[in-house]
Structure 1
């Protein structure tokens, strides 16, 4: 396939993805949210508190630290098709890791199920750093880490928050034009809102994972699914950057 044809197909897929993420939630999703809230009421408060703190700590540590970015070789010169072949290989590897980790912790009931939250978060963050490097973006620039955070929120947020974040992604150049390269993520992120949005998105399947025996099946399937959701978001989020900047180099 020629580079032009591949980019045209990618552009069409990007437009389709943007329509999907902007689409209002279905009735079934609203009913799922009601069930999720009910099930959450049966989980002890100390479990919720522990999970919430794990979300904040793992994501904040990953974004503020240097260990994830140092392991990634930024691909500076490659076609979009070459980048995405590499991305598919990376997705497959992370998908297997996430599923295996979910099955292992899910088999152990509530204590190991709780441990799965920070472990899966770490896998997701490493994947996003890998995706950034594959698409040619250097995460030593904190503005790129802020973009990673926005991709994460696009994948795992409520409809209201998702629409807000996608609007920023579509106008990223304007959003960051006055932000310094060494910006403080703590000044940019409402961590309480962030962790609640993430937990609300994943609570139902991950709560089921806490059930001994049944949790192994749910854990593997849920982690596999969530990695796929994040992979689709990362692919189209970086397509948005590359294809938009190619159309308008001043963005």
Structure 2
């Protein structure tokens, strides 16, 4: 097990990262505008697809639906990268956080490759394949976050964990005010305060905000993807950068959660 000094040092680095995430530059605000304008002229068949996407996110919160990750494949990936045999979730509880971080980053590289290919392939047809790309990149995003959760010893089969995962998704695409609020909500879920957790779950029943934030975050990147053929380049870039930001967010937030729990264990054992 890591020393208290090591855990505190890592926690300080994560808190510095959190502080850096809270700034939203002017140009970032501008890049969100095209998608809002685009929504007014979006063909009905694309709006129908986005409506279906909203329903799927609601289903994900309730039961995981088609988006639940295969834990066994994550165990195999972890074992392949570290040589440490993992047969069930409990085997990950005492794994050093440094190993968890290393495997999460390697898994992120794998997912970024898949997202790049997805964005390039759907960029060929411009606006007509955009309707396919948004649900596809959402699926990759949820899969990535779930796998990072499993690597850190948390179970996406738990409804409360799925809420945490969606909040991580929302955090990665939110502005300054949104990030501040979401960090507080994530802390409440992590502390396992049942009353506060229920409040957060109740709030996210309005999960449409997650999808709106998610789609707006594409901004000008998706606007350019609507140009046939040229959209290949922009689609690949947009998807890769989104998964890159998302996997960094997931890794940092799950690292913090695991570190806080271990610091709590160290304090309890010292008091005893």
- TM-score relative to the length of structure 2: 0.78
The answer for the alignment partner of 1:22 in structure 2 is 22
Task: Say yes or no: does 1:197 pair with 2:213.
Answer: yes
Show the counterpart of 1:53. Answer: 51
Structure 2 CA distance for aligned equivalents of residues 104 and 131 of structure 1 = 26
Match of 1:169 in 2: 186
Count of equivalent residues: 247
The verdict on how the C-alpha distance between 1:179 and 1:139 changes in structure 2, with shifts beyond 3 A counting, is farther
Query: Contact (CA 8 Å) 2:34, 2:223: kept in 1 or not?
Result: no
Runs (5+) with no aligned partner, structure 1: none
**Normalising by the residue count of structure 1, what TM-score does the alignment of the two structures yield?**
0.84
For residues 140 and 184 of structure 1, do their structure 2 counterparts lie closer, same or farther at Cα, with a shift above 3 Å needed?
farther
* Structure 1 residues 89-128: aligned runs within 5 Å: 89-128=106-145
1:54–1:117 Cα contact (<8 Å) kept? no
- The question of whether the paired residues in 2 share the 8 Å contact of 1:39 and 1:204 is answered with no
Structure 2: distance between partners of 1:228 and 1:199: 16
- 1:147 pairs with 2:164: yes
Match of 1:79 among 96, 106, 121: 96
- Alignment check: 8 A CA contact 1:98 1:224 kept: yes
Aligned partners of 2:193 and 2:5: how far apart in 1? Answer: 31
Following TM superposition, by how much is the alpha carbon of 1:110 offset from its aligned partner in structure 2, in angstroms? Answer: 1.7
Instruction: Write the deviation string for residues 160-210 of structure 1: whole angstroms up to 9, x where unpaired.
Output: 3222111112333457423789x9968742023222222222232122212
CA distance in 1: counterparts of 2:7 and 2:19, whole angstroms: 18
CA contact (8 A) 1:105 1:113 kept: yes
Query: Which residues of structure 2 form unaligned runs of 5+?
Result: 76-88
- Is contact 2:59-2:65 (8 Å) kept? no
The CA deviation string for residues 63-101 of structure 1, in whole angstroms up to 9 with x for no partner, is: 422652444443333101111121122111101000011
Structure 2 counterpart of 1:158? 175
The superposition leaves residues 108-158 of structure 1 with CA deviations (integer Å, 9 ceiling, x where unpaired) of 222222210111110111111101100001122211111111111101223
Partner of 2:155: 138
Q: Which moved more, 1:195-204 or 1:109-118?
A: 195-204
